[in-house]
Each structure stands twice: as C-alpha cells, then as structure tokens.
Structure 1
C-alpha cells in the first residue's frame, strides 16, 4: 500500500512538472554584426538564405536560417560619392536604403536609397556591384524609401521623387524608364501581378498604378477620397486573386485592389498611429504587415476582416510613442515563419507559424 501511495505521488508530481513546463517560444532573434546597422528590408533568396538591406550602414547581410550565422557584404560606393549622388561623403553611412529582392537571374538586387542606383550581389561569389544610369537623376530618390520587384528580363524599381518606374536589364545592364502620368505622384511599392502587369502605389497622388511594360502605358486608379484609412499607400507585395493588398502608411489601414475591375476597398486597422509599412502573406492567405511604432507583429484575415496582433516577447510598451522597435521589413520565409526587421534594435526577428 505504501508502495502504491509513493508511486501515485511520484506520478502526480511528474504530471504537475509537465504541466508547469513553459511552452517553447515561437520567437527567435538574430543581432546583426555591425552595431547600428538599422536592418530595414529583407527577402528569401533562391538559395533559401535570408538577405537583408541595411538602412544606417551601407551593407547587405546574408543570414543562414539553419545556423543563425551572418555574412556581411560591403557595398562599394565611391567615397566621396559620385556626382550622381545627393549626399556628401559620410563614411559608409550615406545611402539610407531599404529595398531588396531576388532577381530571376539568380542574383540579389538592392536599392541604394538616396543614391538612386542599383546594387547587385552574387551569392555564389560574394561580389557586389553598383550600377547607375548614365544620366542618373540625383533627385530620383531624394527621400530614401522606394521598392523593387523582379521581372523576367530585369529588376523593376521606383524613383519616388523622380516620379518614374525604372527597369534594370539583367544582361545588358541598361535602364528603361516609364514616367508616371500624374506629376509628383510618389511611386513607391510594387509587384508584378498574375495579369502580367506591374502594379504600384502612388504615395502622394493617392492612386494605384498599373504599368504595361511591353507597351509602356500606365493606367491609374484613384483611391476613394473618403477612405482615410488608405492615406499614403505604401507597399504592395501580396496577391490573392483577384486582389492585390497594400499598406496605408499614414491612414493606418490595409487596402486591396481588384486587378480585373480596379475596385478598391479597405480594412481600417484598429490601432491609431501604427504606420503599417510592408506586407507579406502566409500559406493560409493571411496578410501580415509591419508597423513603424508598434512592438508587435500582426496580420489581417481577409475572409473575416479580423486583425490579430501578437506582442513581441520582450515588449515593455506595445503602444506607439515609447521605445518602438521601428519595424519596416517583413516577409514570409525562409521556412514556415514570418521574419521581421527591427531597425532600432539592430536585429532580425523570426516567428514560427507551426
């Protein structure tokens, strides 16, 4: 009897211990090798590595998701900068860049912020090259934020203050420019959609543009003036037929446009002054997005219109105005995970979905 009592007590204790064990965190964090790098945008490469574009230092970083090992690549800008660059020489912190995408040619391409050039990284060799248009517009990206998207023959990118969509040819290294019809429209985020056209946001003009890059024609769709949640349409990277989803950076909302009808509608976010920045999509169709002032990650389920917010594990204050982690970049993958960049914390975060 004493034996059974002891055994029962032991099993009860083990059961209690099992119940009390904390669940493993879905979050992982990776600090970048150079202090104050300011990771801003990132993307999964064709090799399954995560490639990061820094905002506060002129480097690209490769992160191996299986080991956490980082490799840093210096961008060989001329110092002092060439005549086509806006800023004077400031050491290696002169670009303020925030856009990176894998090209269809297997290489990695990144923007160069206010320098208005194209950065090319060969993952196999680690070689980094910089290309500028012969008649480069020094005011093309006077504010540093723009975007890129790979096409079959080259990399598209926006010159936000130059009011131009550009295409850099993978093979010839030449540029083709497509002026946006509306003056001072502020073209920013973009995606090559399933209809074969390049769709892009017009941050200042409050429009969504569609570029037929074969003919060069651009069609513009005004965002409803009364929809204040879509003020400042910024990044457009998610497609779920027939919709393209984009962030309303100033208005605190997620918008979508029907690529067949051009109809635009919105999902106002419930947190004020969050400043939704980039968006991405998981396999279930949820639209994840970063915010510049919230110490959270969050997603929209379009079928229900519901937002889900997930606080970061070391968050002190989730609301805006106090110690924001300044998230800009967010992407699905590598792996079944959401990756996000914390500019002010100098680290990359990973949230496992399974």
Structure 2
C-alpha cells in the first residue's frame, strides 16, 4: 500500500483522513492537477494559530509533478492540517499528525550460565495510568519501570525466588537450571494500579529433561512495594499471556507448553515467592468439583495450539491466540464452551514461519468491538468480527480458504521477505498501531523496522511512519492513554522507544528548547532567520529577544544577494532598504499567493522591487514588531516595524 494520502480535485477528502510523520520527516502526496513548479504553488501547513509554507521550488521539495509531491516538512511544523495550493486554489485540508521519537536505554545486566553471558531483551510493555511504563524482558530476573516525567528515569524491581541455582530451566547455553526467566512475554496494569506479568523457563523444554521448569504469575504493587508470586500447579507450562478479569475477581493466564487457559483468584490463592520445586511436592492445587477458591482452574485445549495472549470481551468471554495452531480461540469460563476460528493458510515460506505457520500472537479489542490480531510470521494485521461467530460458519475455512469472521486487513509480507509484526495496540482515537520488522538472516543491512497504524474508520487505509534511524526492531507496543504516547520495545537495540504526538502549544514538551529552557536552544535556528532559538526566546530586545523561534517573518534582518543575514537591524542594510521599497507590491497583486513565497529567496537586484523579506502584516498584540506573514504590500506598517526593531542584534551568543 502506498505511504501517501491522496489529494484530488474536486476537493472531497474525508475529514477523518490523516497523515503522519516525524518532526522534519518526509511526506509523499499523490493526486491530480498539482501542476508544474511555480511561485503560486505550495504546500501549506496550519497548526494552532500558526502556519508554514513550502513553495514548489523550495529545497524541501524533492519532487513536484502533476500527480506526486515528495517533500520534507519544516522542523517547526507540528500536528494540524495541510493543503496543496496550486495557482492560489487549495485542496481540502487533510489532518497531519507529527510525532517526536525518543528512547530509553535499557542497561544490560546479563546472566552468567555455564560460562556464557546471556543478556536480557525488552519484549513486552504496558503504560500505567500515572504515565509510568512497565517492561517485561526475555532472560530477566526482575521487572523494569520507566517513571513518568521529563527525565524518563529507569529503575528495576527485584523479584525474589528460592536460594540455589534457580527454579527455571534454560536452553540458551546447554541445559541447566537458571535464576533468570527465559520467557517475558506479557505485562498488564490492573485497574487498582498493580502490575501483573509472567515468568517462565525455556519454551519447548523437553518433558523428560533433567530439570524442573517452573512458571509463575507475578503481581507487584507500586504503592507498597509488595511482590506476590503465584506458582503454576503444573511443571513446564511455559506461561505466556496474563489477563485481569475484575468482574470475576480472577487472573487468567495461558499455558503455552501444556496447552491450557487457566486462572485463579488472587485473594484466596497461595502466594509463595520462595517456592522451591526441588524441595518437595507443589502445594498449589488444581480446582475440582466446582470450587474456585485456593486453586487454579484449568481449561485444557483439544489440540497443541500453543496459546499465547489473552483478551476479554464485554460479555466475559476470553479470546486468545494459538500461535502454533494458526487459530483464534474463544472460551466461556462458566460453561467451558470453546470456539476455535482457523486463520487462512500461512503465506510465510521462510523458516520458522514455513514450519509453525503464521503465528497469531497479540490481540486487542477496539471501541467498536472488533478484535485485532497480529500474525507474527505472516506480517499481517487481522480483524475479527465477534458478532458473526455464532451466526456464521466460522469454525472452518470455506472453499476459497477464507473465514467469514476474519479479514486480513493489512498483509505486509510476500512470504519471502522475512517481515514480521509482533504486536498491536489501540489508541484513544481507535487507531490500530503495530510495528513492522524485517530481518533477513545473513543479509547485511536487512534489519529495519517501521511503526504504522490502520485508520480509525478501518477502511484499510494504512499509514506508515518513515523509518527511524537506529530502530531495527519492534516487539511489544502499548498506548499511554493519559498522554497519547505510543511505547514500543526495541528488542535488539536494548531500548524502549516512544512516539509523542506534537501539537500546537506543546512543541517543546520533555524539557527541550522552550522559553523555560533556553539553554537547550543555543545552537538551534529553527526558522533560519539568523538568530538562534535561545536568542529569540531571551528577554533582551537588544539581543533579538522576545521573538518567536518558529516564525521566520518576525525579524526584518534583510538578506543580501547571497542570501546571508548579518544578525542585526541597522541603518544601511535594513531601514534604508525598506524605505527604497515603500509602496512596492507583489507582482500578481495577490497577497495570498505571496504568502507562499520562500522567505529565504534572494533579494532582487532592483532595490525598489517587492520582496517578502521586507513585508509583514499588522502588529500583533503588545509585541514591538510584526509577527504576521507578508500581506503583499510594502507600506508604513513595514517601515515602522523595522524602525521599532532598530538595534536588535543576534550577537549575544557569538
């Protein structure tokens, strides 16, 4: 699918259409009647009370043809709307979402097993209501958390276990007991703010091997620091997913190795963080005779489907993925009824996808009740309509190999390219986010990753962010509903990445360049007017202060024929230059078109000719200069504006 949103005439774009990119990122716009490169053609950005323009011959334009525009958006542009203007006629506005990317390094502590150093990898993430982000890892010994706030401080929670070589089994370096959990597949935040996550030894560990392989579900209370450990009643279960069921007072989990969906009531079930499976029989009981207290309730699956992640629908049914069965399951705990929906045949032709299948993995419900699933090895995002399950033939594929309850909305792979999609998350705008990763073993430079989403109206419109430098892997992905941030685990880079939506008035969140933090702006000149952002934000008007670092038009420092500025408002270069141009106007007599002129274009040789560098709109508020864009005429307002700025200099940091 194209990474562009279509702009057409007549102008009938849906107001739900959106495009997204990174700060100063790339955009490709396709459509019709864009015309040729000309002074009256531009891409106009509106965000809050501000606007920015990229004219068709700007250096930011890589390509401008009648049907394609490739450009990089200016750094100052944040989320808002964009329009394409051709000969003064604009398209309908399209929503633009602009994100900043940053990341948190996850230090490697490592685990020494049989002389081999085994390192942890971030895998599952969840955002709490206070903005903290919790992290579960493969090969971990504890839980990690990124505290909310501008500093993004990382800390770790130690999870106790019995003394000795360890309660888990590992196969990363031979076969041995281990104190680290090979599995770190899930982490969830309960409504009371406590954190639930899973621990387990090596997956696919042989049942007849020499060592026991404990799995357990952990609860951590950030308020009290209390850790509770709920050991599974069976060995070698390889627990993956965890699900909090407030209505029933239950916590559910998947036994991937022993193929069961199981659960327990935390308020009546034994917690024992120091349980030693080698010290005697496991005291944890399996429920029987309809009892639910002080025991674990197990629902065995009929096939070895390797259940993974779990979700709860509004009717209390438990939905789960079968990663090796290529199915989606639905369990009704009160009756034990199980429905399994087969997915279409896998497309992956490379190992291990060619062996294990498409591997449905993570799943999430949207606000319309649809269930979204990531198919890992098929690099596919699938939508399930639960309303059809009881009225359609959904427990088997039709003659065309399709399931009437299932729509594979986005298929990113051709089966040979090594692409994968690990997880999905639904944001507050009902967008379905996912991470697309490519890793072709043995091919240099093949590792790469992108973040994308499916539009909220689910019309199959898929939008992908440009590739982010240094991001080569995306595992678990989660939404922070308080801030709207999207967090994701960068498995191979040992980082947790964040996408933050930048909106008007919030451009400098996170302690970056801002009036409160001008030292962060010293080396930046966002609007390219010759003054650094720190100088423009300063209180001293004689040093160019009290200006807007994102507005090129707020400074009358005239560029010369080489497009250089001297950073100072003086008599010969600025005041006399504008006096010579009094009464000049743009050649078309059209102030709107002139607004789209490149502010950095060279000054014309004719010293009486119009140029937007000398032109402003009227004064804005109490500011002693004019902040508006050109109005198309050099008049008294402009002369007074430059006189009011006389003596302003940008030499304070030189």
- TM-score bracket, normalised by the shorter chain, equals 0.7 to 0.9
- TM-superposed CA distance for 1:351, in Å, is 0.2
Distance 1:129 1:170 in 2: 9
Aligned to 2:244: 150
Match of 2:321 among 176, 195, 201: 201
From the superposition, tell whether residues 162 and 336 of structure 1 become closer, same or farther in structure 2 (CA, over 3 Å): same
8 Å contact 1:199–1:210 — kept in the other structure? yes
Instruction: Please say if 1:171 is aligned against 2:325.
Output: no
Q: CA deviation at 1:81?
A: 2.4
Residue 425 of structure 2 is matched in structure 1 by: 280
Q: Structure 1 residue 96 and structure 2 residue 190: aligned? A: no
Q: Structure 1 CA distance, aligned partners of 2:197 and 2:244?
A: 11
Q: 1:296 aligns with which of 424, 447, 450?
A: 450
**Partners of 1:56 and 1:120 in 2: how far apart?**
18
Equivalent position SS for 1:336: coil
Corresponding residue for 1:352?
Answer: 500
* 1:58–1:226 distance in 2 versus 1, CA, 3 Å: closer
Q: CA RMSD in A?
A: 2.8
| Distance across 2 between alignment mates of 1:68 and 1:197 | 37
Aligned counterparts of 1:275 and 1:348: Cα–Cα separation in 2: 18
Runs of 5+ unmatched residues, structure 1: 1-15, 316-323
1:117 aligned onto 2:237: no
> Which runs of 5 or more structure 2 residues have no equivalent in the other structure?
1-57, 59-72, 79-98, 110-118, 171-175, 202-213, 270-293, 390-404, 439-447, 503-654
> Per-residue displacement from partner, 1:139-197 (whole Å, max 9, x unpaired)?
211xx7x2122111122111111111111322112443333433201111211112221
**Candidates 127, 131, 146, aligned match of 1:44:** 127
- 1:214 aligned residue: 334
- Name the counterpart of 1:8: none
Matches within 5 A, 1:199-348: 199-225=319-345, 231-262=358-389, 263-271=405-413, 272-293=417-438, 294-301=448-455, 303-315=458-470, 325-333=472-480, 334-348=482-496
Which residue pairs with 2:165 in the alignment? 80
Q: Which of 95, 98, 101 is the equivalent residue of 1:27? A: 101
Tell me, yes or no, if the aligned pair for 1:42 and 1:50 is still in contact at 8 Å: yes
**TM-score, normalisation: structure 2:** 0.46
Distance 1:171 1:105 in 2: 14
Count how many residue pairs are aligned between Structure 1 and Structure 2: 322
CA contact (8 A) 1:295 1:311 kept: no
Relative to 1, partners in 2 of residues 1:185 and 1:270: Cα closer, same or farther, differing over 3 Å?
closer
Structure 1 residues 292 and 113, CA gap change in structure 2 (3 angstroms): farther
Measured after TM superposition, the shift of residue 126 of structure 1 is 2.4
Q: Aligned pair in 2 of structure 1 residues 95, 21: CA closer, same or farther (>3 Å)?
A: closer
Cross-structure match for 2:641: none
Shift of 1:46: 4.0
Aligned to 1:161: 257
Structure 1's 264 and 127: CA in aligned 2 closer, same or farther, altered over 3 A? same
- Report Cα offsets for 1:65-124 as digits up to 9, x if no partner: 313112211121334223xx433334x534331210123443211100324211111111
Corresponding residue of 1:62: 145
Partner in structure 2 of residue 11 of structure 1: none
CA distance in structure 2 between the aligned counterparts of 1:170 and 1:105, rounded to whole angstroms: 13
Give the Cα–Cα distance (whole angstroms) in 1 for the partners of residues 345 and 74 of structure 2. Answer: 53
Equivalent-residue separation in structure 1 for 2:296 and 2:386 (angstroms): 24
- CA distance 1:242–1:131, change in 2 (3 Å): closer
- 1:111–1:22 Cα change, 3 Å: same
In 1, Cα distance between equivalents of 2:300 and 2:472: 34
More moved, 183-192 vs 267-276? 267-276
Shift of 1:348: 0.9
Q: Which has the larger radius of gyration?
A: 2
Relative CO higher for 1 or 2, CA cutoff 8 Å, sep ≥ 6? 1
TM-score, structure 1 length as denominator?
Answer: 0.82
Aligned-partner SS, 1:89: strand
CA separation in 1, counterparts of 2:77 and 2:138? 35
CA contact (8 A) 2:144 2:157 kept: yes
My pick for the range that moved more, 191-200 or 48-57, is 48-57
**Is contact 2:181–2:199 with CA below 8 Å preserved after alignment?**
no
Would you say the 8 A contact 1:267–1:305 is kept in 2?
Answer: yes
CA distance in 2, matches of 1:48, 1:273: 34
Equivalent in 214, 226, 230 of residue 131 of structure 1: 230
CA distance in 1, matches of 2:107, 2:77: 29
Q: 2:136 aligns with which of 45, 53, 63?
A: 53
Query: Using the alignment, how far apart are the partners of 1:97 and 1:171 within structure 2?
Result: 24
